[in-house]
Amino acid sequence: MSQFTINLLFVGASFALYFGIAIWARAGSTKEFYVAGGGVHPVMNGMATAADWMSAASFISMAGLIAAGGYANSTFLMGWTGGYVLLAMLLAPYLRKFGKFTVPDFIGDRFYSRTARLVAVACLIAASVTYVIGQMTGAGVAFSRFLEVDKDTGLIIAAVVVFFYAVLGGMKGITYTQVAQYCVLIVAYTIPAVFISLQLTDTFIPAIGLFSEHTQSGMPLLQKLDEVVRELGFRDYTADVDNKLNMVLFTLSLMIGTAGLPHVIIRFFTVPKVADARWSAGWALVFIALLYLTAPAVASMARLNLMTTIYPDGPTENSIAYDERPDWIQTWEQTGLIQYEDKNGDGRIQFYNDTPAFAEEATARGWAGNELNVNRDILVLANPEIANLPSWVIGLIAAGGLAAALSTAAGLLLAISSAISHDLIKGSINPDITEKGELLAARVSMFFAIIIATYLGMNPPGFAAQVVALAFGIAAASIFPALMMGIFSKRVNSKGAVLGMLAGLGSTLVYIFTYLGWFFIPETNTLANTPDNWLFGVSPLSFGAIGAVINFAVAFLVSSMTEDVPEEIQELVESVRYPKGAGGAVDH
């Protein structure tokens, strides 16, 4: 049986499961569409939240970025994990107690302003659409490889699949589909990792294998990897980061951006009680940890396997001939995500860091430039093939990669559609709309959101995880400060909140668009996205933290210069933060 047939079997079986669940759990009311009826068990909700959270960026792209950048890109891991803890501890229980199941609902009521609600809708759509672009990019990569089509065709197929089960089932269908998707993606991620860890270190737990001895060389795995990449002009895999400020800002941007993600926040309204929201947050963290503890090992082992595939006799010896390249390179070349150009005409593959610092060594070895371009988003998907694992493992990871991308895309599209139908149309434009009309508006808005995300996903402003990081920056600068001030400050009024969100969102978008193209349209950027052009060395991916500071500063400044918050709103904030009937402490 061919690999293509095996891939189709695994992917087809998983899709049949998702579609079956969508039909079984079809939403018949707005409550079922938005919050699955509010009756999901905390463990199942934790699993669904983990699937919603561990997107294509986590499954497909994060390990690829860590593999390419080493320790420097571990910021993705630290920021996303820390951010989820921040969300679970600081925001989720209070928002759940407030009782409004969308972010604009909370902001509109807390800041007693229709304008605040509309600005929150704009912030939510900006963050969510950017996030969906990353998911669709990852789904396109996965579909292109495993259906052996070009990446744009893969992207269109992904859009059709998401549209079917997200539009049909709403949150009810998405929740139970995401439970199934979590099971698929975690099995698909860990089984290849276990195989590869055993191959390289004789240790079956990848996280332990990362710090174990490399069987073939007798050296610690990370030391061996450092040696290989250093010989090819790359910086040490475990090297420290030069720009500490950018690293701190980027990690902070990911953390507070996580805590402001509307599609994750809405999941805490699908459980019956506030206590269940806390439990589901804890369970989600357990389920997330299973993948996040494995990712660094997957990244390191993928990088080492890739290098030793190209240089089987060591980095100082001849590389493989292009005609002798393994099948997996040939297959990925068909997608355009691996490209080869024989620059020195020797028929071999030169893969190294083509920089001025390594130019003398490259010239001495007869090299005329790096000849192999490998898209970072393919490393996890290609890892089983690089390591010569069984065909069924490759089929399994195909299903897992698609599950990761599609689960988060569906959750994001639901957040976008609920913002438009519930917060914009019902909340501001037509309060008397019927439930049937609201449901139709939600599905129509989801359709248009998919179209926009698919179009932009064909020319994304970066790798899947980088695009997602931009979305986190937008959420960090606009939504997170408003939520924090809404819960923990009785001083911030509607004018402060509105101007703060506009200042945070506006400054962040302008900074991002300056380097990555206006509205992410290719070749419309004002400045090249290089460190020497960045303001004070701050990357566009890191600016969300600064945007958040601007948001907080403007909100507090404006609030101090304008009218006080109404008494009833101050009492509302108090009631959300403290249980009813709680008295003061008594000194016995």
User: Residue-wise over 570-582: b if at least 16 C-beta within 10 A, else e?
Assistant: eebbeebeeeeee
Residue type, 351: F
pLDDT digits (tens, 9 = 90+) for 205-259: 999 999 999 999 999 999 999 999 999 999 999 998 888 889 999 999 999 998 8
Backbone angles phi, psi at 59, to 5 degrees: -75, -50
Handedness of CA 349, 352, 356, 360 (dihedral sign): negative
Q: What are the chain's domains?
A: 3-306+395-465 (1.20.1730.10), 312-380 (no CATH)
The span from the CA of 236 to the CA of 289, in Å, is: 27
Backbone angles phi, psi at 338, to 5 degrees: -125, 130
Residue type, 455: Y
Q: Among residues of the chain, what percentage have pLDDT more than 90?
A: 35
| Token code pair at residue 377 | 């988003």
Q: What is the 3-state secondary structure (H, E, C) of 511-549?
A: HHHHHHCHHHCCCCCCCCCCHHHCHHHCCCCCHHHHHHH
The answer to whether 528 and 497 are in contact (CB under 8 A) is no
Going from the first residue of the chain to its last (588 residues), give the mean pLDDT of each consecutive group of 10, the final group possibly shorter.
83 80 62 53 83 74 86 86 82 77 84 92 87 78 76 82 66 71 84 91 93 93 95 92 88 89 74 77 87 92 92 92 91 87 93 92 93 86 83 82 73 77 80 82 83 80 74 92 93 96 95 88 86 90 95 97 93 76 43
pLDDT digits (tens, 9 = 90+) for 315-331: 999 999 999 999 889 88
Give 12-16 contacts, CB < 8 A, sequence gap 24+: 13/399, 14/180, 14/181, 14/184, 14/399, 14/402, 14/403, 15/161
The reported pTM is 0.81
Backbone angles phi, psi at 534, to 5 degrees: -70, 145
The answer to whether 481 and 555 are in contact (CB under 8 A) is yes
